[in-house]
A and B are shown apart, each in its own frame.
Chain A
Amino acid sequence: DTGVSQDPRHKITKRGQNVTFRCDPISEHNRLYWYRQTLGQGPEFLTYFQNEAQLEKSRLLSDRFSAERPKGSFSTLEIQRTEQGDSAMYLCASSLWGPEQYFGPGTRLTVT
């Protein structure tokens, strides 16, 4: 395993449905980040884990969003009752203590 992986790569869902994304960080990386990127914009920070602890959440992360990182390994990001405004690329990144973050390929969500 040489990089961050994300699954699925693409997800199309109808408004109101729940979706869940998975991120597998680089092995032994203790920090894991979620970002959201809309078309034509840079990624925006959503939330951050150090091991299994979720240490920070952006105001962008509404009550419909929840993220977990059980056992400090993979992470899941769930969006409940999806809205069209949730359509975006969801990026996961991991790091080992330092500031350099390594990104996965992203999950592109389309809400119809």
Chain B
Amino acid sequence: AQKVTQAQTEISVVEKEDVTLDCVYETRDTTYYLFWYKQPPSGELVFLIRRNSFDEQNEISGRYSWNFQKSTSSFNFTITASQVVDSAVYFCALSEAMGDYKLSFGAGTTVTVRA
């Protein structure tokens, strides 16, 4: 069975501060995908990033960056120079690398960015 844990329930920061969201996962699969989704107050889940389990190179995309460490089963996500529009619930998710790709989500972390 797959399991995703987001230990942080809520994070509150002042605009322009960096925000790091923690994600720890469990899976028996040797290959898998990891994702981060954003859910703003409107409710629609927005895809942010995807990472393959066989590629541990960390990347930066605009103000987003992620740190994938297979040895500790962690997939942390950072928003640099946060903005008020970043206020949302952020979900970490996991899927198999083949087959149906159904997603297993964590419980989410609510990020509030104050002006």
The chain A residue with its CB closest to the CB of B105 is A42
Measured CA separation A95–B35 after assembly (Å): 14
Complex partner residue of A105 from B35, B44, B47, B104, CB under 8 angstroms: B44
- Is residue A102 contacting chain B, with contact meaning CB distance below 8 A? yes
Count A-B contacts at CB 8 Å.
60
Query: Which residues of A are found within 8 Å of B93, using beta-carbon distances?
Result: 42
* B100 and A43 contact, CB distance less than 8 A: no
Q: Is B107 an interface residue (CB 8 A)?
A: yes
Nearest CB of chain B from residue A87's CB, rounded to whole Å: 15
User: A39-80: which have CB < 8 Å to B?
Assistant: 40-45, 48, 50, 55-56
CA distance A40 to B46 in the complex (A): 17
**Does A25 make an interface contact (CB < 8 A)?**
no
Chain B residues 7 to 65 lying within 8 A of chain A, measured CB to CB, are 33, 35, 37, 42-47, 50
Complex Cα distance, B106 from A47, in Å, reads 18
Indicate whether B103 reaches chain A with its CB closer than 8 angstroms. yes
**Please, how many angstroms separate the alpha-carbon atoms of A102 and B95 in the complex?**
14
> Contact at B106–A42, with CB atoms within 8 Å?
yes
A55 CB to nearest B CB, Å: 6
Q: Collect the chain B residues with CB atoms within 8 Å of residue A105's CB.
A: 42-44
Residues of chain A contacted by B4 (CB below 8 angstroms): 42
Which of A42, A43, A99, A102 contacts B101, CB < 8 Å? A99
Is B102 touching A48 in the complex (CB atoms < 8 A)?
yes
Please, could you name 21 A-B residue pairs with CB atoms under 8 Å apart, sorted by A? A31-B100, A33-B103, A40-B107, A41-B107, A41-B108, A42-B91, A42-B105, A42-B106, A42-B107, A43-B91, A44-B105, A45-B102, A48-B100, A55-B100, A93-B45, A99-B33, A99-B35, A99-B101, A102-B47, A105-B43, A106-B43
Tell me the A residues contacting B by CB distance below 8 Å. 31, 33, 35, 40-45, 48, 50, 55-56, 89, 91, 93, 95, 98-106, 108
| B residues neighboring A (CB under 8 Å) | 4, 33, 35, 37, 42-47, 50, 91, 93, 95, 97, 100-108
